[in-house]
Structure 1
Amino acid sequence: STNKPRLLTGDRPTGRLHLGHYVGSLENRVRLQNQYESFFIIADLHTLTTKPEPNYIREIPTFIRETVLDYLAVGIDPDVSTIFVQSAIPETYQLNLLFEMLVTVPRLERIPSLKDMARDANMDTMPFGLLGYPVLQAVDILLPRAQVVPVGRDNQSHVELAREMARRFNNLYGEVFPEPDSIIGDVPLLVGIDGQSKMSKSLGNAIYLSDDSKTVEEKVKNMYTDPKRLKATDPGTVEGNPVFVYHDAFNPSKAEVDDLKERYRQGKVGDVEVKQKLAVVINNFLEPIREKRSYFLAHPTIPRDVLASGIKRMQTEAKSTMELVREVTGLSYSLDLFADEVDIFGEYDG
């Protein structure tokens, strides 16, 4: 263990990761991993809250593999970070049950992101598990006793709940959990290549970190631009134009971007040229990531060992947290109903 504060964050395994993930969280994690003792959770149980069907469950192992490969490819370093799979930690289920006793239904119903999740999953009514999603998230955070959680503004309410759960538990039973702080990333959402407000797999508007250069060129060629602009000599709008949003995010040459914007506004450069330059920019950005990814694909024992040792490390942490929990709550009796100090059938003066 280190003296660094402990951090937890992660993703639901939904397949390959894309540029939106990179801008939204991965870039930040790579930067933070040396300042904190980092735990990265691949939250497979969370996927069940909206997709419990067998055909989805069958895909999860592949999605876990893709996630680990992408983590390693962007530079998450297993020597300083712990990557693990949520369902491989039995204590997750145990602590979740206990936490469910410490929170009310109206409190959970006030969490804004839940309604959105139910709507996005086309659910007319909320399953119990989805209502309890933030409780399970609190468990994810508190089981390794994390002190900081990087989140976007929209998920701040989940960390707030984890703080409340920690406080409630500690007041009731004794000090076990830190009250975690959010690190709020003011990260812009990366628009999809179709100009929709968010890049996502389900909307089919993503450029993946593992896309090859031809695929990237194709996707960039078909990107939305200024719909009012009919020919290259028309003045074009730069603001909110997906092609320029990406140039701003990924083009290392600010001078080139400024020049392109200037000429675009005057109708002196066409969409084709602006897109060709963007394809080059994105491919330059992705090339080292693709190289590392194919290396790990070709040497599968490396990602396999990374995940195995991450799971083992987290299992150790979870066991020690749960021992403390049992001790302070008095629930340790359940481990051995017939031990001398517990024996419920022992002699007593009745």
Structure 2
Amino acid sequence: MNILIVDDDRTNLFIMAAIVRRLDDVEPVSMESPLDAVEWLRGNEPDLILLDQMMPDMDGMELLRHIRDDGRLDNVPVVMVTANTAVDIRVRALDEGCNDFLTKPVVVPEVQARLRNLLALRQSRALLRDRAALLADEVERVTAVLQRQGEELVKRLSRASEYRDPETGAHIERMALYSRLIAEAAGCGAAYAQELMKAAPMHDIGKIGIPDMILLKPGRLTPEEMTVMRQHAAMGHRILANSDIPLLRLAAEIALSHHEKFDGSGYPNGVAGTGIPLSGRIVAIADVFDALTSTRPYKRSWTLEEARAYLVQNRGRHFDPSLLDAFLSRWDEVCRIHHENADELAHPVPLDV
């Protein structure tokens, strides 16, 4: 550790430096000029500073103010050495950030004791600061691990749902990209948009609980079958809800709310307007748009313009008007996502049975 000593009297400077050297593992840095001390402090941080009160060019009080104005030196202990015993001087120095006083002529054991105590306090604060930094790094590391685990879990569950759902993996990729695009265009922030893109693929995870005879039926569902199919929203929420992983909680919110409609005619709870979570309102647009522009065993794919017209027609009924406007404002990017993530053509391969 090092102690900066500032005193215009060479004799005093020599005596204080000798006292400091008697302390274990401490080195003095001696300065006769307070202006030289100011220059030295620009690139150095001592562990303690000893200031003489009465000095030419800049007195101890002014130098003390300069030290406390420097954010780097805010926690460095400062001891004022003075022959003035006036109370008002000491009070003013304390108000300016002085930590302790030494009265001239100094008593060597007293000086050593005060300096040891202040250096021990300085060291303890440094240890606490380092420990806090280590803990912050550890928390950040663990949080990053949990985030990666959550993302991997989402990917694996999404992959599992693909085996049961006739919708392709390309659909999941596209609607996730559309969801991020809408969030960005609506000014939700890059971090939220990124999380939404990661969680959106889980929107239909509840379909793993729907019987094959309904889920894989090529034709139109009967009213009774549609009632069963609509249960997938609540099922998906039950699968994902109450997780300690924020990404899964967001996915649970999407699973439950992405079939709600802005006018309240959706399912499973008939929620309307902004009562529908933002994530659900965004994914509703992305999911419907991509479903319309994708080929299914029971329907042809719509053109992008046909799908756009449908969205506009249902603005304020099915879809949040402001979010839909945000989606359409990025139409060139919508078209790019659609073309760059097209479904792969399936070529059936005959198998020997």
Decide which structure has greater helix share.
2
* TM-score interval, smaller chain: under 0.3
Compare relative contact order (CA 8 Å, sep 6+) and give the higher one, 1 or 2: 1
Taking structure 2 as the reference length, the TM-score comes to: 0.25
